[in-house]
Amino acid sequence: MVSERKKCSKHVGVIGAGPSGLVAARELREEGHSVVVFEQSHEVGGQWLYNPNVENEDPLGKDTFLKVHSSMYASLRLTSPREIMGFTDFPFLVKKGRDMRRFPGHRELLLYLKDFCEWFGLREVIRFNTRVEYVGMLDYGEFGKDLRWIVRSKEKRCEKVVEEVFDAVVVATGHYSHPRLPSIRGMEAWKRKQMHSHVYRVPEPFRNEVVVVIGNSLSGQDISMELVDVAKHIYLSAKSLEISEGLSKVISKHQNLHLCPQINSLHEDGRVLFVDGTWVIADTIIYCTGYSYSFPFLDTKEIVVVDDDRVGPLYEHTFPPSLAPSLSFVGIPRKLIGFPFFESQAKWIAELLSGKRTLPPWDDMMRSIKEFYQSRDVDGVPKHNTHDIANFEYCDKYGDHIGFPHLEEWRKELCRSALRNADANLETYRDSYDDLELLQEALKSPHFTQLEPKSLPLSDPIN
């Protein structure tokens, strides 16, 4: 809803300088707010800032505060074509001297985010090497009104702790860092190497090993395909043996890659027993079992909780009704075209904080959340998939709250085309595709012609 109130400027803390934090900072500044972005790493990028140094991380990622944020492995390439990934006013262009492929490696996306940061002058508001340790409500005014937040942060180098008060806090810490692990009988007793894909980086350490990969997600498939050249055998354990045509082709091509059912139990002698009674003796188990939402710094007095990876209650995956708009989350939804959606979230938050818009009444927001949960239950969606959207219509409806443009048809079609191609040609879809006519249409659209390429910044591909 649009408000007639006079526009006001707030002091806002943004936690995280990945894609969602950067676009939040940009939108907040454009709406006239003062912004401080807290970033625990030395550079922007969040998940896209590759970190090879995982030796000191718990291999199963069980620590509350992880030492390593990024889960990127060295060979990772985008699973979506670059054309669909850019923010609405900053296309992800091909640049000479950089990775010019349509499905580039992770470094190219980091450079895009650095370009975005330079273009919009965001670096000056980011505090690097600063970890947020605590965010809590300041006991101030009537509950829900004039609510302010204490943010306690620590500078890594000098261990200096700073405590500040903000009018609002935007949580933008990503959702691909904290490992989600299955519960398998014998996990604790199994004495060989167990690790989550969060700390997988390169295939070489697994040379001549027998490796069990649990989960045939994108990372499970990627890592299995990478291991075929070094490991003795790879056993890919999947919930369902009904797999895509693409994965089926890969398995029939590689004699040392085997599809297996779910695991029944692990045994001290190294045996991995599958539910069909077959077993193997393995050297390593890699859990490619996804990630959990985790906000160890956030104290909302149990108003916002994470219950089996449902973060709630959140109106439209963004606003806790009792604390909004002074507390909000950007980047929680998964399985969508991320950057434009994060941008629409950020714009809504910025306009709410300035008073340009208002949220519906508390009762209406809570009713909307309850109805959403019920619809998920009716559709048989497990609770831990609450925030998996996979629906272009939802993204468009979300944007309607603030008059944000709908996703272009070419963007939707290029996304669908890549998904179909990956399903049929898992090993080759990033380099061989049949959507070039659609690509030409996309490149002629206003999204790609809005900025003069010569005027765009060019991040150094080496630094």
Secondary structure element (H or E) that encloses residue 214, with its range: strand 210-214
Secondary structure element (H or E) that encloses residue 210, with its range: strand 210-214
pLDDT of 432 reads 96
pLDDT of 143 reads 52
Return the SS3 of 272. Answer: strand
98's tokens: 């950089």
pLDDT of 170 reads 98
- The pLDDT of residue 5 is above 90: no
Q: Which amino acid is at 51?
A: N
- The pLDDT of residue 1 is above 80: no
What is the tens place of the pLDDT at every residue in 434-455?
999 999 999 999 999 887 554 4
pLDDT of 139 reads 73
- Single out the residue of 321, 349, 322, 344 nearest to residue 333, CA to CA: 344
pLDDT of 448 reads 93
Q: Output the average pLDDT for the chain.
A: 94
- The pLDDT of residue 462 is above 70: no
* Sheet-wide strand order for 284-287: 193-196, 284-287, 210-214, 233-237, 257-260
- DSSP strands (E only) in 67-192: 126-127, 130-138, 148-155, 161-166, 168-171, 178-179
Kindly write down the DSSP assignment for every residue of 230-243, as one continuous string. Answer: T-SEEEEE-S-S--
What is the tens place of the pLDDT at every residue in 77-111?
999 999 999 999 999 999 999 999 999 999 999 99
- The pLDDT of residue 243 is above 80: yes
Any idea which of 142-151, 317-326, 389-398 has the lowest mean pLDDT? 142-151
Q: Count the Cβ atoms, other than its own, within 10 Å of residue 437.
A: 8
pLDDT of 7 reads 76
pLDDT of 463 reads 47
Alpha-carbon distance of 200 to 29, in angstroms, equals: 37
- The pLDDT of residue 187 is above 90: yes
| Domains (range + CATH), the chain | 11-44+122-178+291-407 (3.50.50.60), 187-287 (3.50.50.60)
Alpha-carbon distance of 99 to 431, in angstroms, equals: 13
Alpha-carbon distance of 108 to 94, in angstroms, equals: 9
Q: Which amino acid is at 41?
A: S
pLDDT of 63 reads 87
pLDDT of 456 reads 54
Q: Could you tell me which residues are beta bridge partners of residue 170?
A: 14, 328
Alpha-carbon distance of 122 to 384, in angstroms, equals: 34
Q: Which amino acid is at 280?
A: V
Q: Which amino acid is at 249?
A: K
CA distance readout (Å), 292 to 173, 308, 438: 12, 8, 36
| CB contact at 8 A, 193 and 37 | no
What is the tens place of the pLDDT at every residue in 365-385?
999 999 999 999 999 999 999
